Structure formats: structure tokens, C-alpha cells
Amino acid sequence: MFDNTQQLQDQISLVKETIEKWIAEKRHAFQVKGILPPIYSSFDVRDSGSKVAIVDANVFPAGFNNLDEASCIEAARYFHDFLFPIIRDQEILLLPENHTRNLHYFSNIRALINILTKGNFRITIGNPDENAREEFRQVQDTEGNVLILERIYRNESKIFTSSFKKGMILINNDLTLARPQILENIDHLILPPLLLGWYNRRKGRHFRIFNNLIDELAELCTFDPWFQVALFTEVEGVNFSRDLGIEATAQAVGKLLDQINQKYADHNISEKPYVLLKDNSGTYGIGILSVESSEEIFNLPAKKRKKLIYGKQTKPITSLFLQEGIPTKYLVNKFAAEPVIYSVGNECIGGFMRANSIQGARGNLNSRGMFFSQLPNTPLMAALQPKNKGGLSLYSMLCKISNLAISYELEEMISVKGFV
């Protein structure tokens, strides 16, 4: 497989001003409508050498503990710049995931608190358990540090805890199952907006918008959009525990593989195509399966079929997102790895490499066997910093466009629901 990434980088560098103006105009249009860019986000990037694409966009990132010190400093600066114009005080109530077993997750919470504190904000952690009776709950991170979660109370349209009396609410809970009832119709600013929880969000909506944006930009800047997107389709009404939607899924896999095969032929790529089946409203790398033919769908062994039955928190999978598989060219300690890039207020602040000691270049690296490598020790550093000073990084551009797509998602949701 040829290495086309540098050519792609050179292409966008030539039209840097056009791209930045295009992004700025779209961002301004949202500003006029009162729709903020995502306060934070993270993006899984796949770079095969022949093409580069974002394959997942997370509105509730949970890996701040994997960022290096320089990225954390950038994050603190951008949190400060983003929030100070829109909130009058510096109080933030941080609402985490409602679980206590994942110590790595609480290391993420501790790192996020440290970043926000450096941005001159005062942070209180709220207990997300609406049925909690104790005033305080203690949890630990991987290093044994104790975090205190405070019981949340509501008085009419106000939220408070023992320490938090007023301010904004920052959600670091991807809301897989539902919106928290205690947060409905309150006067506080809530970021990210509750509508962006996975109880309501769909990967298909995001990538439909994202791919359309890349098509629009490609027409403006005359490049081939396929090199910067992953092809996809969706299948609704599935229930693999009851054999519902299996034939429709197999047909969709076959059609998508045909599209990928045609693109490979057009661009003289000899790699064998594959498709990833994902929970359309899933996260944490759960509910993902890789296939190379439609026939595999009819002959799934029980262990693989089980992956497509339940998502996070045993939420039943009823809608599948089928995405073009992109093998990764990156290695960390000889293991397959992929970039994960973090953004605050639409500005890329850095990232890390997610590697996996079990999975190969075509596998789901966000699974058992994964480990992380911080930015200074990885090739991601060079990818985020173009050789020409002041240039536009290809990876950063894709993340900014994905952030735009999140804003378009929110706009569509508001138009349907009539609220945030």
C-alpha cells in the first residue's frame, strides 16, 4: 500500500486560507444561532497511509489522564478562553459516569479537574446517582487518590450540593440510557447539551453530516473526498438474539464492500476491504465486529453474535452502523496503534496513541489489550505539527470539521425535539 498521507497534507497546506475561512464562516453561523462548539471532544483517527479518516467522534471524552503535560496546559488555556466569556462565575459542577469499578475512568476525572483548576475554575464533583442518600461518596483512581462525590439536590430550577451553589454543569457521562431527570428544565448552563447523549445520538447522523461537509470542502478545494472519509451505511430494526435484521445486515455489508472494492480498484489499492459493524448509539468500544464478507453475517459464532446484542450498560442494540474498515499504519512497541485527538472549544489540544497488544492493524483497538502512549513519544506529534510553520495539520482539520458536524447534529436534534 502506498503512503499518501504526506500528499494529502501537502494538498491542504496549499489551500490553508480557503479551508480556515470556510470553517470560520460555518462556526460564525452557529454563533449567530447561539449554538456553541463542543466544549470538549475526542476523535479516533485511522490512517492507513493511503487515506486518513475519523472513525469515531466522542462528545464526552474520558481519557484526559492519557494526555501529556503540554496537552494539559493547552487544554487549561482553551477551557479558560472558551468558558470565561459565557459564564459569570468560575464554579463548575462536574457530573461523571455512574459507576465506581473503573479506576482508570476516575483517573480521567482527576486529570480533568486538574486541567480545569489550572484554567482558574473551582470544581465540585457531583454524585450522578439520583437515588443516593449519603451526603458524600468516596471513589479512588488508579493511583489511590481519593475523589469526593457530593450528593446533588434540586430546589425548583436550581441545582446545588454541599459545595456547589451556582455555576455551570459539565457532563462527563455519555448518557447511554437516558437524560438525568434532576437536570430537566433547570436554569444552569449544561455542557455538553443533554441531547448529545448516546440515548439520543447516532453515529450515522454524525458521519452523514461529516462526509457531506468533506464533500463540500473537496469541491471548493478540488481534492478527492474519499481519501478523508470512511464510507458507511446503517441497518435499523436489528435484534441478533432473535435473528431479526440478519439478512438486511448481510445485504448492507455486501453493498458496502462492493463500494469499497470499486474505490480500491480506482486507486490501485491491493488491500482486502473489510467492514466494521458498530452499535449505532454505542461507545467504549463495545458492540463492534469486523467482517470481510456478507456470508460471515449468516455464520457468526455465538461469541461474535453476542457482541451485536448488547452495548454499554447492556443496552439492547437495535440499530447498526456499518463503516468502511481502515487499517492503521501506526505501531507502538511493535503493536498496532491509532491516534486519538482531543479538542477543547473547537481547538485541538493534543492527543495520544491507543495501541493494543492483542489486535492487529485491522482490529478494534479500543478493546481488551489496549494501552496508551503519550504524545511526545509518538509519531502523532509530527502529524499534528506540519513542517511549514503555521501550517494546517490534516488531522486537526478533520477534527475541526467533525466538531462542526457535532454542531450540525445538535441543530438537527433541536429542530426535532424543540429543546436541548
pLDDT at 51: 94
Helix (H, G, I), strand (E, B) or coil at 203: helix
* 170 vs 336: CA distance, rounded Å: 33
Nearest to 328 by CA among 66, 57, 43, 45: 45
CATH architecture of 68-199: 3-Layer(aba) Sandwich (3.40)
Cell 430550577 locates to: 157
pLDDT at 4: 79
Query: Residues with Cβ < 8 Å from 303, sequence gap 6 or more?
Result: none
The fraction of the chain above a pLDDT of 90, given in percent, is 83
Buried b (16+ CB within 10 A) or exposed e, 272-299: ebbbbbbbbbbbbbbbbbebeebebbee
pLDDT surpassing 50 at residue 358:
yes
Asked whether the beta carbons of 176 and 313 are under 8 A apart, the reply is yes
Asked whether the beta carbons of 351 and 341 are under 8 A apart, the reply is yes
Q: What is the DSSP string of 311-352?
A: -GGGPBP-EEEEEE-----EEETTEEEEEEEEEETTEEEEEE
Please give the torsion angle defined by the CA atoms of residues 234, 239, 240 and 243, in that order, rounded to the nearest 10 degrees.
-110
Helix (H, G, I), strand (E, B) or coil at 172: coil
* 153 vs 120: CA distance, rounded Å: 25
For residue range 172-221, what is the model confidence (pLDDT) as tens digits? 999 999 999 999 999 999 999 999 999 999 999 999 999 999 999 999 99
pLDDT at 6: 84
Q: Which residues pair with 335 in a beta bridge?
A: 332
The fraction of the chain above a pLDDT of 70, given in percent, is 95
Asked whether the beta carbons of 178 and 198 are under 8 A apart, the reply is no
pLDDT surpassing 60 at residue 2:
no
For residue range 17-46, what is the model confidence (pLDDT) as tens digits? 999 999 999 999 999 999 999 999 999 999
For 72-81, what is the mean pLDDT?
A: 96
Asked whether the beta carbons of 196 and 409 are under 8 A apart, the reply is yes
Strands (DSSP E) contained in 173-329 are: 190-191, 232-236, 275-279, 288-291, 319-324
The torsion angles phi and psi of 133, rounded to 5 degrees, stand at -115, -25
C-alpha 32 chain-centroid distance: 25
Cell 454524585 locates to: 127
Sheet holding 275-279, edge to edge: 232-236, 319-324, 275-279, 288-291
Q: Which residues pair with 320 in a beta bridge?
A: 235, 279
Q: How confident is the model at residue 1 (pLDDT cuts 50, 70, 90)?
A: very low
> Which amino acid type is present at position 143?
E
DSSP code for 376: G
Query: Residues with Cβ < 8 Å from 386, sequence gap 6 or more?
Result: 9, 13, 392, 393
pLDDT at 308: 93
Helix (H, G, I), strand (E, B) or coil at 3: coil
pLDDT surpassing 60 at residue 368:
yes
Nearest to 352 by CA among 95, 145, 82, 61: 61
For residue range 262-319, what is the model confidence (pLDDT) as tens digits? 999 999 999 999 999 999 998 777 879 999 999 999 999 998 999 899 988 889 999 9
- Secondary structure tally for the chain: helices H, strands E: 10, 18
For residue range 112-169, what is the model confidence (pLDDT) as tens digits? 999 999 999 999 999 999 888 899 999 999 999 999 999 999 999 999 999 999 999 9
**Grid coordinates belonging to 6:** 504526506
**Grid coordinates belonging to 415:** 429542530
pLDDT at 392: 83
**Grid coordinates belonging to 28:** 460564525
Query: Residues with Cβ < 8 Å from 289, sequence gap 6 or more?
Result: 276, 277, 300, 304, 307, 308
DSSP code for 244: B
> Which amino acid type is present at position 210?
F
For 76-83, what is the mean pLDDT?
A: 96
Asked whether the beta carbons of 357 and 337 are under 8 A apart, the reply is no
* 204 vs 279: CA distance, rounded Å: 10
Q: How confident is the model at residue 236 (pLDDT cuts 50, 70, 90)?
A: very high
For the chain, the average pLDDT equals: 93
Q: What is the DSSP string of 124-167?
A: EEB---TT--SSEEEEE-TT--EEEEEPPEEETTEEE-SS--SS
> H or E segment at 46?
strand 40-47
Domain map (residue ranges) of the chain: 5-62+202-414, 68-199
Nearest to 172 by CA among 114, 231, 125: 125
